[in-house]
Chains A and B, each alone.
Chain A
Amino acid sequence: MTDQKKTILVVDDEADICDYISTVLEDNGFDTLVAADGRQALESIKKGKPDLITLDVSMPERSGVRFYRDVKESEEYKNIPVIIISGVDASFEKFISTRRQVPPPDGYIRKPIDKAELVEMVRKLTGS
C-alpha cells in the first residue's frame, strides 16, 4: 500500500449498498466518498478528485449511464477508472462494452457483491 490513501467514489442510489461498499473499502485502507445519483456524483468528483469510481448503472432515470458517459467524455476525468456494479445481467456488460462512443468500463462486478473480488479489483486499478 502506498503512503497516500486512495479515494474511492461510491455511487449507488441504495443507501444500504453505499454504506456496505464504503465500509468494506474503508476497512481495506481506502478513503471514500458517496453519492446517491449522477448529479451528486458529478459534484463529488469535482470536489473530491477520486482515484476510482464504483458505479451502479441501474439507478433511477438512467442517471448512472449518463454519469458514466459524462465521466468518460470529460478530458479531465476520463482517466479515472470506473467499476460498474450492477444487478442487471451480462447483456448490459456487453452493451456498454460495445458502444463506440464510450470506452468499456475498467471493471465489472455483479450483485450480490463478492467483497474480496471488489477489494482486489480496486487495489489493482488504483495501483495500491
Chain B
Amino acid sequence: MNQPYRRFFEALPGYCTVQDRDFMIVEANQRFRKDFGDYQGRHCYQIYKQRSEKCEICPVERTFRDGQDHSGEEQVTCTDGRCVSVIVYTTPIRDENGEIAAVMEMSTDITEMKSLQRQMRESQERYRMLFEEVPCYISIQDRELNIIEANRKFKEDFGSFLGCKCYQVYKHRDRQCLDCTVQETFRDGRVHHSEEVVSSKSGKKNVLVYTAPLHGPDGNIKSVMEMSADITPIRELQGKLESVGLLISSISHGIKGLLTGLDGGMYLVDTGLKMNKPERLNKGWGMVQRNVERIRSLVLNILYYAKDREPVFEKIVIGELAEEVIEVIKHKASELGIQVSSEVDQACGEMLADRNGLRALLVNLLENSLDACRVDTKNDMHGVRLRVSPESLKILFEIEDNGIGMDREACDKAFSLFYSSKGTEGTGLGLFIADKIVRAQGGTIEIESRPGEGTRFLVRIPSGPVKTVTSDNPLEE
C-alpha cells in the first residue's frame, strides 16, 4: 500500500481489514489491532467471533463470489470481552487483471445506536401494552372518522372494525352523529367529552367519552383518540335509585288516597253514631273496611316488590286453586254487584307450580278486573270470569271482564313499573308484580282489551317447573 493510503487506512474510524479467499486477515488498521490484537495468520471468524469455522452467512464470501459490495449487521467480541455491534461493508479488491484478489471489510461500531434502538422498542412496547390493557375503550380516528387503531378491550367488545366508521361501530348508525366530539377535537384541537350510549356485542352501554388530538410531526392534528369509560353500572344504579324514589312517591301518593277514604269512613261512622243513623254508620264502616283492605294489599305488593322470592314448586290441584282465588274476591265482587264465575276444564288436573305466587297473581288480576268494572259507568251488568284450560305443557288462565277496558297505549304500558291507568287509586305496582310472578315461573302474560268493552288477561304457566328467570329488582343487590 502506498504511504498516503496506508495513513488513511490506519486512521479509518472503524475496524478495517483485508481478507484473502480463506478469510485470513492479511491487513488490519490501527483501530482493529487495538480492539482485537494480533491478527497475523488468523481467520476473521476466529478473531471476531471466536469460531472455529466460517460463519454461515458471510458478506466477505459473497463479495468473493459475485464481486459486488455487501453489508450486514454483526456482533463481535473484542479481546477484552466487550461485545460490539457493527455494521459491516465489504468491497472487492481487484488485481491488474481485474480478478478479485482480496476483500476489504469495514465495520462501524453501532453499539450505542443499537442500545438506543432497543430502549425505544421497549418503551414502544410498554406504551403499546398500556394502550392495549387500559380498562376502557380506545379508538383512533382519522379525519374521515375511520377507526385506524383500537385497543384490546375495544376489539373484545366491538369486534375488529379497523377501517370502519366510528359511528357504524359504536352506534350502528349509517351517518355521522349530530354532536361529534371527534370532529370538535379536529376543529379546535382541544379535549372534549360527552356521555353516550353505544351498542357493544353484549348490548347497550353507557359510556363517558373523552376525545384528544394526536399531532403529526408537522404539528397538525393527524388523528383523534377517543377514550370511553364504561359507566353502565353507575347509570344502572342511578336508574335503580330513581325507581326506588318513584316507588316511594307512588306509595305515598296511593296512601294519600287511601287515608282520605279512611278519613271518610271514620267521619261517617262518627257522625252516624252521633246522629244515630245506622245506615250512615254501616256505610262508613264499609268504607273503613275497604280502605284497610286496600292498604293491606298495597303493603303486600310493596313487600312482593321489595323481596325477590324464589318460586317454590309444589303440586297444585288446579280446580282447588281456582276455587280458592274466587273465594278471596267473592266478597268484594258481591259488594260491588259484580258477577264472578269460574270455569275449570276437567282435563286440567294437577300442575307443578309456585302456589303462593300463582295465587297472588290470580287474585291480583281478578281484583284488577273488579276495579275495571267498578269504574265503568256505561254498563250496568258487570261480570268477571276466570277460565282455566290445558294447553300443550302449559295451563292457560284467562281472566276476563266487561269493564272499562284499556286503549292500546295503556295495554302497552300496563306491565311497566308505576304505570297506572287508575288515576289516584293505582300504585302502578299490581301488574308489574303480576308480570314478575309469571316470568319467575317461566310463563307469559298477554292483554287483550278495548276501551269500553272489557279486558282479557291470558296467562300461560308451564305445567311443570322450568328454569327460572332472574328479576330486575332495584331494592336488591
Contact = CB atoms under 8 A, between A and B. Distances in A.
A102 to B, nearest CB: 20
Contacts of B374: 15
Interface of B: 249, 253, 256-257, 259-261, 263-265, 267-268, 271, 280, 283, 287, 290-291, 374-375, 377, 404, 421-425
Contact of B375 (A19, A23, A36, A112): A36
Interface in A38-73: 39-40, 56, 58-61, 64
Nearest to B291: A16
B397 to A, nearest CB: 25
A89 B291 CA distance: 21
In the A-B complex, the 6 residue pairs with the closest CB atoms: A20-B264, A87-B256, A16-B261, A112-B259, A111-B260, A111-B256
A23 B268 contact: yes
15 contacts: A16-B261, A16-B290, A16-B291, A17-B261, A17-B264, A19-B283, A20-B260, A20-B263, A20-B264, A39-B377, A40-B377, A56-B424, A60-B422, A112-B263, A113-B260
Contacts of A14: 257, 260-261, 424-425
By size class, the interface of chain A is 20 to 34
A45 to B, nearest CB: 16
B410 to A, nearest CB: 8
A32 interface: no
B264 A19 contact: yes
A19 B261 CA distance: 9
B372 to A, nearest CB: 10
A5 interface: no
A23 B287 contact: no
B261 A59 contact: no
Nearest to A15: B374
B253 A87 contact: yes
A27 interface: yes
A16 B287 contact: yes
A27 B274 CA distance: 12
B290 A86 contact: no
Contacts of B425: 13-14
Contact of A24 (B256, B267, B287, B423): B267
A13 B271 contact: no
A67 to B, nearest CB: 13
